[in-house]
Structure 1
């Protein structure tokens, strides 16, 4: 058996990862049921047989490219521990920009919000954690993802969130929201990045959209006007090279006060627009 320190020294074997040391720490901590801080407090701890076998198996799977989040079954988003699996996208830090912007644009304590394509429930649950007075509907087409989002909702105890199976707006009863937010599929089917990194293990249906990745955004923009209060906001995440095209889609749909905002890498990552008049309904 090897010590914690010896196992951590294996991180260079993860040659495909740009966070090899962190990946190794997370897998090792998970394998022995401790947190990452403990690893550095007890570097000479020698793993027991089952602990070492568990780590070795997970480490080999990571070497083959499987995402750490799938291997440990969890990813933190907005400081919330969320269960994740292969039925949904893995929540990413850049998507927290959607949450930040939604909270900025809708400061009230009594709001109605809709999260389209909720996946693991990350955006809806993050909003619920900050605004307990909001009523939030989270819609998702995949039955497996709906079950996962509901499991996360129950684990976190957010009673102000409802999870609904729906293909975008198709199964949503006529009603009005102050905010519609979405991280929809926006990758072109021909994008070579689909064959690289973690996305190889994520559901293609949650990644790829027709019309060079813009088809779902266009549908959301046009249909959301029927569900937004006058003055309500639509926020969508998109690819960093799509901002100009998304602004045109919003303008064609009838939104006003349209703008794009940069992610933490200073790239245009989300676009927002306001439903100004009721004549669009």
Structure 2
């Protein structure tokens, strides 16, 4: 089989399976199987003959994607904030909209950061990679998720600590910054999620049940006990949750509460500061 035939066959199969952006996914899977970048793949002749092993690997990858397995689970990685992170079914797939949280967190100085529900560690490790003098702790209730985070730490060469437990249970001390991308999808919204999310991502990291706000109630109420005098709390939210989460922040005593928009113009992050900077 040549590259041109592989591309055509792959696009046809993924389109029939209802996969969005089939051509883009085929290109990414083909590059992954060939062990080249997308740019290098584009420079290869469409008549390039694939080896038997490459054809077999491409067949496995296309079959998995047609079954709506996330692309990142097939390739084993996802690009986030300019760095490649290991991804497995034990963690949420890092999403571009979460980079809104990174930008908000980096907008002010901090020497210490706590990441609640760290998952793959993409948030904490991105912050520490950009602020090399800072120290950080990532907390997650899932031991397999923390194992993925530790692998990403080793891969990136970033210094971080990890603790297993529910929210603040294993946390001691105070931090300049607390960040979190908690499960926030309401139980009645789960049915509308894509097959990639419903069938492959950990539901524990997607929804807390009920109205989806339970984690924010815990985080906003408890964060002041673990923040420095002018510490900041920055969390990711669902597009319809901005007003409710901002109200929780204010009720907990946070000042300068803001709802920040993602690149699609949707409410994506709520931030607040404990106390006032003189």
TM exceeding 0.5: yes
Seen in structure 2, the aligned counterparts of structure 1 residues 269 and 195 have a Cα distance that, compared at 3 Å, is closer
In structure 1, the residue matched to 2:33 is: 31
List aligned pairs for 1:1-281, cutoff 5 A. Answer: 2-9=1-8, 10-15=10-15, 16-42=18-44, 43-104=46-107, 106-107=108-109, 111-159=111-159, 161-173=160-172, 175-193=173-191, 195-200=193-198, 201-276=200-275
> Cα distance, 1:13 vs. partner?
3.0
Q: Deviations over 1:37-75 (max 9, x none)?
A: 222211221111111011111101101111000011111
The answer to whether the 8 A contact 2:138-2:161 is kept is yes
Aligned residues: 271
The answer to whether the 8 A contact 1:146-1:163 is kept is yes
User: Equivalent residue of 1:24, what SS?
Assistant: helix
Q: Tell me the TM-score normalized by structure 1.
A: 0.93
**Unaligned segments of structure 1, at least 5 residues:** none
The answer to whether the 8 A contact 2:187-2:210 is kept is no
> Cα distance, 1:12 vs. partner?
4.1
> Cα distance, 1:4 vs. partner?
1.4
**Unaligned segments of structure 2, at least 5 residues:** none
The answer to whether the 8 A contact 1:233-1:273 is kept is yes
Question: Using the alignment, how far apart are the partners of 1:4 and 1:136 within structure 2?
Answer: 45
User: Equivalent residue of 1:31, what SS?
Assistant: helix
Question: Using the alignment, how far apart are the partners of 2:54 and 2:78 within structure 1?
Answer: 21
Q: Deviations over 1:118-168 (max 9, x none)?
A: 100000111111100011111111000001100110111112x11221211
The answer to whether the 8 A contact 1:187-1:209 is kept is yes
The answer to whether the 8 A contact 1:4-1:39 is kept is no
> Cα distance, 1:209 vs. partner?
1.5
Question: Using the alignment, how far apart are the partners of 1:205 and 1:273 within structure 2?
Answer: 26
> Cα distance, 1:195 vs. partner?
4.8
Question: Using the alignment, how far apart are the partners of 1:224 and 1:80 within structure 2?
Answer: 29
Structure 1 stretches of at least 4 aligned residues deviating more than 3 Å after TM superposition: 192-195
> Cα distance, 1:192 vs. partner?
4.2
User: Equivalent residue of 2:168, what SS?
Assistant: coil
Question: Using the alignment, how far apart are the partners of 1:150 and 1:45 within structure 2?
Answer: 39
Question: Using the alignment, how far apart are the partners of 1:73 and 1:262 within structure 2?
Answer: 29
Seen in structure 2, the aligned counterparts of structure 1 residues 88 and 263 have a Cα distance that, compared at 3 Å, is same
User: Equivalent residue of 1:258, what SS?
Assistant: strand
User: Equivalent residue of 1:187, what SS?
Assistant: coil
Question: Using the alignment, how far apart are the partners of 1:241 and 1:17 within structure 2?
Answer: 26
> Cα distance, 1:246 vs. partner?
0.7
Q: Tell me the TM-score normalized by structure 2.
A: 0.94
Root-mean-square deviation over aligned CA pairs: 1.4
